[in-house]
Amino acid sequence: MKSRDERSRTATRRSQAQPGLDGETLAIEALAFLAASPERLHTFIDTTGVVFDDLRQAASQPGFGSGILAYVLSDDGLLIDFATSRDSDPEETATLIRRIQDRDLADD
C-alpha cells in the first residue's frame, strides 16, 4: 500500500499530466457517472433539491458543475465509486477536485 506522501506525489504527477482536464469536463464526467445509476441520480436529486425535469437546464447554469464536484467530494463512498469509474485513485480524484475548486475560487 502506498504511503500518503507517495499518493500525494502520484496525484500531483497525474494532475500535471492532465493539463487539459478542467472543472467543466470533470463535472460532466461526474454528472454522467451519477446519471448512469438511477439510485445515485435519485439520491443526488433528493439531496440537492434539483428537480429532475429541470436537471438539463440546471446543468447549464454557472456553478452547477462546482456543485456536482462538491457533492461527489462530500461522500467517501461516492468519491471512491466515481474515481474507480474513471480508473483513478480516490485520493487523486479528491485532490483534483480540490484543485479545481481552489482555482474556481481564485477566478471569482
83-92 tens-digit pLDDT: 999 999 999 9
For residues 91 and 100, what is the distance between their CA atoms, to the nearest angstrom? 14
pTM above 0.95, yes or no: no
The one-character DSSP state at 61 is S
Phi first, then psi, for residue 19 (nearest 5°) are -65, -25
Instruction: Name the pLDDT band for 23 (thresholds 50, 70, 90).
Output: confident
Residue ranges of the domains in the chain?
22-107
Condensed to tens digits (0 to 9), the pLDDT of residues 50-96 reads 888 888 888 888 889 999 999 999 999 999 999 999 999 999 999 99
Q: Rg of the chain over CA atoms, in angstroms?
A: 14
